[in-house]
Structure 1
Amino acid sequence: MVLPCLDEAAALPWVLARIPAGWRALVVDNGSTDGSADIARALGATVVHEPRRGFGAACHAGLAAATADVVCFCDCDASLDPGHLVPFVREVLDGGADLVLGRRRARGRRVWPAHARAGNYVLARLLRRRTGLRLHDLGPLRAARREPLLALGLSDRRSGYPLQMVVRAADAGWRIAEHDVPYLPRAGTSKVTGTWRGTWQAVRDMSRVLAEPPAGGRAAS
């Protein structure tokens, strides 16, 4: 399981305690200054250091370091329970889908700021127009097979990485499923959705992804 991490010392114990038995936790430290890497290591996680800042950079470093057939992604801020990925992995292994995404369902009025929800809604509509997929969320909880993911040639290293994964998977003819998952109050301060500036940066990064021409020749292996 890939867990991109930037200063998540307060959330790591909660997140790592919920990793399903037998799964390997890959905490990708993206320049933390609060001791996150040491905490993750002490709690049994494998720590990968990615000096290049960016959500996509951290996710892709984890994907490259993973060795399992199926790779999962989850935020490291305690807003999502990694245990909810168990049926996602089962669906991929059973052949029901090539990529399974979690649709965040907020637990509480202040969990998901209005500006972040609005940005996500707009991007989901644009994604539907671009790919025909009737998805509702571009959330970080997801599962897919590692080798086909690498074959997609994902190049975004900022906030556009999750969207680029979906767009290129759709272009390659992947079967993409979406299931509801609880979205909880995060620990600490959000680097993206907690601020207007962060949300705007994410929307801008993802808009660039949507502007890319359809990529031919990519297929799941």
Structure 2
Amino acid sequence: MTEIYVTAVMPCLNEANTLGICIDKAQRAFRDLGIAGEIVVADNGSSDASVSIAESRNARVVHEPRKGYGSALMAGIAAARGAIVIMADADDSYDWTSLGDYIRKIEEGFDLVIGNRFKGGIEPGAMPALHRYVGNPLLSTLARAMYRVPIADFHCGMRAFTRDAFLRMDVRTPGMEFATAMVINAAQAGLRIAEIPTRLYPDKRHRPPHLRTFRDGWRHLRFMLTYAPDWLYLAPGGLLSIVGILGMALLAGGPMAAGSVKLGIHFLALASMFALLGANVIGFGLLARLIDARRNPIAANSSFGRLLSVFTLERGLLLGMALAASGLAIDAWILFEWIARGYGDMAGTVHIAFVASTVFLLGVNAIFGVFLLNMVREERTP
């Protein structure tokens, strides 16, 4: 039996009008390249003639009952026998005869090769204007910034990769966000990623598109934010904390005035809220980073992982206790002043009392927070 070199995986849901065209093109590419290839059609519950069309052309059909673009692709890739897997849609929007460009990049040593539709060209009518000029560029820009992956088109559906690389990506997302998850996971796993120009054509389907602009756009964004704790938690939490601490430092001694602008107790309350909120958000971010380190060994060996090895439970407890003790010490001083003044009016100490209470709460939060972080860290350690 001839050993399969390349597997073409086509996710399919009611693609009877175009599936045969795509299979024929892929088979022609195999013949022209002189390689042993197979075609796997990952059927996601088609109710038309898609399955019979695939079988009549000697394609192998894999049935995946769990709905979703990602679910279909995971089933098809799991069934692949080739050392190299190439995936693309079955609606004839990608040129299945261009497999050679992808295969050559894999043979050069890249683990994942992604098409770039913006460099390869987008035919008129192939992509809605909202996707072309807003959705895809915006989401791709955010993903590049969050994950430092130099890929211009995160959502191109035509890709090639080795089976071993896909296992290392560990992609588990069932929906359209599969495309984003693949690139992010590949980058975090340290895989070599290349991008090549790929032309996008108008699809030949006679049915509504499976893609839902806002639903699927949100799923991509949701995935990116969920696994980017620095952006979602640590950056905004740090900003809130800095603003809050500076505000408390300026107003601790009493109201301030700059010309006609007066800053009093209300702004101190706002600064206190920012400091407490920022500390809590940072705590969530640290917890998210720990959980991510359990999921992703690359994250565990990052600079954050090294920082955690220095910032032990005991050091966190010392920090929390120092903050709590400082807050209590200031409150104790205010209490003694009140007694010394014969239990009279203490309006002049309201600002410093506000600051003391905030510092005390920050310390208590830190004490309980480091125990939670340590529990997750100990669970991560064998």
TM-score (norm 2): 0.54
146-155 vs 35-44, which moves further: 146-155
- The residue aligned with 1:162 is 179
- The yes-or-no answer on 1:81 pairing with 2:95 is yes
Partner-residue secondary structure (3-state), 2:297? coil
Greater helix proportion: 2
1:200 CA displacement? 1.1
Cα distance in 2, alignment partners of residues 152 and 129 from structure 1: 20
Cα shift readout 1:20-70 (whole Å, capped 9, x = no counterpart): 223211011111111101111101110010111100000000111111111
Contact 1:151 1:218 in 2 (8 A): no
1:217 CA displacement? 1.3
Identify the match of residue 127 of structure 2 among 102, 112, 119: 112
- The yes-or-no answer on 1:12 pairing with 2:12 is no
TM-score (norm 1): 0.91
| Matched residue count | 214
1:218 CA displacement? 5.5
- The residue aligned with 2:115 is 102
* Unaligned stretches of 5+ residues in structure 2: 1-7, 31-35, 228-291, 300-382
- The residue aligned with 2:380 is none
- The residue aligned with 1:202 is 216
- Higher relative CO (Cα under 8 Å, sequence separation at least 6) belongs to 1
Cα shift readout 1:113-163 (whole Å, capped 9, x = no counterpart): 112222111110111112212322121100111122123221100011011
Identify the match of residue 122 of structure 1 among 117, 124, 138: 138
1:216 alignment partner AA: N
1:2 CA displacement? 0.8
Q: How does 1:1-221 map to 2 (within 5 A)?
A: 1-19=8-26, 20-21=29-30, 22-95=36-109, 97-104=110-117, 105-117=120-132, 118-137=134-153, 138-188=155-205, 189-193=207-211, 198-213=212-227, 216-217=296-297
Partner-residue secondary structure (3-state), 2:141? helix
Cα distance change of structure 1 residues 218 and 16 upon mapping to structure 2, 3 Å threshold: farther
Cα distance change of structure 1 residues 169 and 99 upon mapping to structure 2, 3 Å threshold: same
162-171 vs 11-20, which moves further: 11-20
Cα distance in 2, alignment partners of residues 153 and 134 from structure 1: 20
Cα distance change of structure 1 residues 41 and 80 upon mapping to structure 2, 3 Å threshold: same
Partner-residue secondary structure (3-state), 1:127? helix
Cα distance change of structure 1 residues 218 and 154 upon mapping to structure 2, 3 Å threshold: farther
* Identity score, percent: 33
Larger Rg: 2
1:107 CA displacement? 4.4
Cα distance in 1, alignment partners of residues 186 and 214 from structure 2: 25
Partner-residue secondary structure (3-state), 1:25? strand
Cα distance in 2, alignment partners of residues 83 and 77 from structure 1: 14
